[in-house]
């Protein structure tokens, strides 16, 4: 099999890196990992060695270079169709695609004001104008998915899909900033946190020592 390499940033901070990493680990794909600490004087030249966008994540697969987290996940779903990436049911799959795209392109207030910081314990911080609206929309999505499609497992569509990978960094944000949620959302968050692959990511994140000032309060 052609080797897969995933280039990622700091595990404590890089929310976009977490998405494909989690899906690949959860699906049991073997891959090499290159970690580039972000926002240092050396970061950009190193990133540009691998990707034209100068950002992580980036997947290297034979002669293919794939950047943008959602494009990487879609690429993997095409390359490895025997693994589980999306729900089988067409309505559920369409919903999974829509909410993954909504995450990829949206929730800017939440992303700006509650940066992922796995080590951080910052309850009450980050609740700037507009953040609550993002939280309300995300929790509405989670409740709808769990209620309509969640049978057969603890994930948004029962079994783990790309949509769960896309929302996993939001779970980390809600933990770090102590966002209070209803039971359906709380149970979903706990299920994400208990995933073996998520535990592996968090263990490594907690061992990192780099501090990215722009992601700290
Ligand atoms: N839309 C991109 C976002 C990628 C992104 O912003 N990555 C951040 C890290 S989480 C990055 O590489 N920052 C380094 C930089 O901009 O120098 C994706 O989905 O992959």
CA 52 / ligand 1 centre spacing (Å) = 12
Residue ID of nearest Cα to ligand 1 atom 6? 55
Q: Which atom of ligand 1 is nearest to the CA of 116?
A: 10
CA 193 / ligand 1 centre spacing (Å) = 23
Residue ID of nearest Cα to ligand 1 atom 18? 68
CA 164 / ligand 1 centre spacing (Å) = 19
Ligand 1 pocket list (CB less than 6 A):
9, 14-17, 38, 43-44, 54-57, 68-69, 104
Hey, CA dihedral for 154, 157, 163, 167, is it positive or negative? negative
Q: Which atom of ligand 1 is nearest to the CA of 43?
A: 17
Q: Per-residue pLDDT for 1 more than 90?
A: no
Q: Per-residue pLDDT for 17 more than 90?
A: yes
How many Å apart are CA 31 and CA 124, to the nearest integer? 38
Q: What is the mean pLDDT of residues 48-62?
A: 97
pTM for this one? 0.98
The mean pLDDT of the chain is 98
Q: Give the DSSP H or E segment for 192.
A: helix 183-194
CA 54 / ligand 1 centre spacing (Å) = 8
Q: Which of 16, 20, 51 to mutate to test the pocket of ligand 1 (most atoms within 8 A of CB)?
A: 16
Beta-bridge partners for 32: 5
Q: What is the mean pLDDT of residues 72-79?
A: 98
CA 11 / ligand 1 centre spacing (Å) = 13
CATH architecture of 4-83: 3-Layer(aba) Sandwich (3.40)
Q: Per-residue pLDDT for 202 more than 90?
A: yes
Give the model's pLDDT for residue 201: 98
How many Å apart are CA 173 and CA 15, to the nearest integer? 9
pLDDT in tens, 110-150: 999 999 999 999 999 999 999 999 999 999 999 999 999 99
Give the model's pLDDT for residue 105: 98
Q: Per-residue pLDDT for 79 more than 90?
A: yes
Q: Where are the domains of the chain?
A: 4-83, 90-201
- Determine whether domain 90-201 maps to CATH 1.20.1050.10: yes
3-state DSSP of the chain: CCCEEEEECCCCCCHHHHHHHHHHHHCCCCCEEEECCCCCCCHHHHHHHHCCCCCCCEEEECCEEEECHHHHHHHHHHHCCCCCCCCCCHHHHHHHHHHHHHHHHCCHHHHHHCCCCCCCCCCCCCCCCCHHHHHHHHHHHHHHHHHHHCCCCCECEEECCHHHHHHHHHHHHHHHCCCCCCHHHHHHHHHHHHCHHHHHHHHHHHHCCCCCHHHCC
Q: How confident is the model at residue 29 (pLDDT cuts 50, 70, 90)?
A: very high
Percent of the chain with pLDDT over 90: 99
Residue ID of nearest Cα to ligand 1 atom 16? 55
């Amino acid at each position: 099999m052609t080797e897969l390499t995933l280039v990622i940033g700091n595990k404590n901070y890089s929310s976009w890196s977490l998405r494909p990493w989690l899906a690949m680990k959860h699906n049991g794909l073997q891959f090499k990992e290159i970690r580039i600490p972000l926002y240092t004087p050396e970061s950009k030249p190193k990133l540009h060695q691998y990707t034209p966008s100068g950002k992580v994540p980036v997947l290297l697969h034979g002669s293919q270079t794939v950047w943008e987290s959602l494009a990487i996940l879609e690429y993997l779903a095409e390359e490895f169709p025997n693994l589980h990436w999306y729900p089988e049911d067409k309505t559920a799959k369409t919903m999974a695609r829509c909410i993954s795209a909504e995450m990829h392109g949206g929730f800017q207030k939440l992303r700006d004001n509650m940066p992922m910081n796995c080590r951080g314990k910052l309850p009450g911080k980050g609740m700037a104008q507009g953040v609550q609206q993002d939280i309300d929309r995300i929790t509405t999505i989670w409740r709808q998915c769990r209620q309509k499609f969640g049978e057969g497992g603890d994930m948004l569509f029962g079994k783990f899909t790309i949509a769960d990978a896309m929302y996993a960094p939001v779970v980390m944000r809600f933990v770090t900033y102590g966002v209070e949620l209803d039971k359906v959302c709380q149970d979903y968050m706990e299920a994400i946190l208990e995933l073996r692959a998520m535990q592996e990511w968090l263990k490594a994140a907690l061992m990192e020592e780099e501090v990215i000032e722009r992601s700290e309060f």
